[in-house]
Amino acid sequence: MSDAVNNPDDIKEILAVHHSWLESNNDLVESKMYPNFANPGYLQFNLNGHQYDSVDEKVKLWEGLHEIGFNLSDMKIVEEPKVHAEGDLAYLTTYWSAQVSGDKGTGVLEPDPEPLVFRVTEVYRRDDGKGNPVWKIWHFHASPIASPDTPRFPQDA
């Protein structure tokens, strides 16, 4: 394995961005979220099923979620991130959990009874979107996990 693959310094920097991004999701704090992403150039496939084509669009999403009383809290890493970095590109996979709350007609933020657990993929590039050699997230994808009773094909042996 060459030194360009999974360099410990690169992994450390990528994980620092990942943890900063995770933390920014607690209470959806735009000012903490913004610095983790390439700008311009960021693209997200959100857990809500929609695509966001820039950090500015993501900020508008979070502002809109605040307006309707939606919130995330108690964000946690469920499975330690796996990072593969080679040269100036990297990807990270993991599972997160979050407590989701929203106004369910009562006028107060009520948490869902169980945390939401979902899988995460992040694509990193050592480029901040302006050509500076800084690790940033260029693509984020969150998706639901199949329930345990959902058949998997092909069947596990």
Position 87 pLDDT exceeds 80: yes
Pairing status of strand 89-103 against strand 116-126: antiparallel
State the CATH class of domain 8-144: alpha beta
Q: Do the beta carbons of residue 110 and residue 90 sit within 8 Å? A: no
17: left (phi over 0), alpha (psi -120 to 50) or beta: alpha
- pLDDT for res 22: 98
pLDDT digits (tens, 9 = 90+) for 9-30: 999 999 999 999 999 999 999 9
Whether 1 shows a pLDDT value over 70: the answer reads: no
Q: How confident is the model at residue 102 (pLDDT cuts 50, 70, 90)?
A: confident
CA dist 74 and 1 (Å) reads 38
Question: What residue ranges do the domains of the chain occupy?
Answer: 8-144
- Segment 97-109 shows an average pLDDT of 76
13 Cβ contact partners less than 8 Å away, ≥ 6 residues apart: 135
- Give the pLDDT of residue 3: 53
Give the tens place of pLDDT for each residue, 27-76. Answer: 999 999 999 999 999 999 999 999 999 999 999 999 999 998 899 999 99
> What is the pTM for the complete model shown?
0.89
Q: What is the percent of the chain where pLDDT is above 90?
A: 78
Give Dmax over CA atoms of the chain in angstroms: 58
Mean pLDDT over residues 93-122, rounded? Answer: 84
- The pLDDT of 131-157, averaged and rounded, is 89
pLDDT, residue 148, reads 86
- pLDDT for the residue 5: 83
With a CB cutoff of 8 Å and minimum separation 6, the contacts of 24 are 30, 32, 33, 36
